[in-house]
């Protein structure tokens, strides 16, 4: 049995547009609420995913950073990563804060990032993504950080219903 999880962004919650969409369309997806520091959020993520494998992670913004860090630590348990405007421009700082060693990720990864993103600039994310992910599909879309124009057109069924 696959485990599917959506990790929301820093200022969001399970009740945001994306969280509600996933709960409605994919009833078996886990959509937790995360609050507090990165360390607290990562501890919650680890406890939610404890003893689970074949994990499909969808991470939005700060949630994309969290999903990336989790995968670095537990790569053998993760099957795929779908990252929406991921805040991985903060990756090396976050890893240092958590005392985790940076390593390449071989899990198949899809990134959707808006060329008009002013919150997490594309030019800061792309080089990090290309360095970290060895099996990467990087999709640059004509959108901003929230990806509201793009989000509903992403092929969620093929990502999550396998």
CATH number at residue 29: 3.40.50.1820
Q: What are phi and psi of 12, to 5 degrees?
A: -95, -165
Place 90 in a pLDDT band, splitting at 50, 70 and 90.
very high
Place 1 in a pLDDT band, splitting at 50, 70 and 90.
confident
pTM above 0.85, yes or no: yes
Structure tokens at 5: 């999880």
The answer on pLDDT for 85 being more than 90 is yes
Q: Would you say 96 and 124 are in contact if contact means Cβ atoms under 8 Å apart? A: no
Q: Strand (E) positions, 16-157?
A: 55-60, 78-84, 109-114, 136-141
Please state the length of the chain.
Answer: 162
| Angle at the Cα of 52 from the Cα atoms of 113 and 39, rounded to 5 degrees | 60
Segment 43-55 shows an average pLDDT of 98
Please say whether the dihedral angle defined by the alpha carbons of residues 132, 120, 34 and 39, taken in this order, is positive or negative.
positive
Distance CA 7, CA 71 (A): 13
pLDDT digits (tens, 9 = 90+) for 118-131: 999 999 999 999 99
Q: Would you say 3 and 53 are in contact if contact means Cβ atoms under 8 Å apart? A: yes
The total of structural domains in the chain comes to 1
Distance CA 131, CA 142 (A): 23
Which pLDDT score, from 0 to 100, does residue 162 have?
67
Q: Would you say 12 and 1 are in contact if contact means Cβ atoms under 8 Å apart? A: no
Range of the domain at 47: 3-160
In eight-state DSSP terms, residue 39 is H
Structure tokens at 37: 């520091």
């Amino acid at each position: 049995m696959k485990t599917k999880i959506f990790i929301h962004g820093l200022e969001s919650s399970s009740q945001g547009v994306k969280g509600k969409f996933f709960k409605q369309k994919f009833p078996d997806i886990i959509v937790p609420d995360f609050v507090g520091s990165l360390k607290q959020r990562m501890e919650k993520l680890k406890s939610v995913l404890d003893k689970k494998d074949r994990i499909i992670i969808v991470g939005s913004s700060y949630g994309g950073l969290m999903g990336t860090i989790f995968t670095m630590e537990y790569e053998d348990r993760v099957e795929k990563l779908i990252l929406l405007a991921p805040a991985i421009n903060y990756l090396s700082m976050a890893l240092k804060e958590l005392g985790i060693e940076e390593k390449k990720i071989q899990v198949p990864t899809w990134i959707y990032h808006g060329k008009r993103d002013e919150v997490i600039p594309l030019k800061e994310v792309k080089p990090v993504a290309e360095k970290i992910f060895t099996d990467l599909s990087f999709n640059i879309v004509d959108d901003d950080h929230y990806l509201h124009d793009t989000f509903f057109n992403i092929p969620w069924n093929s990502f999550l219903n396998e």
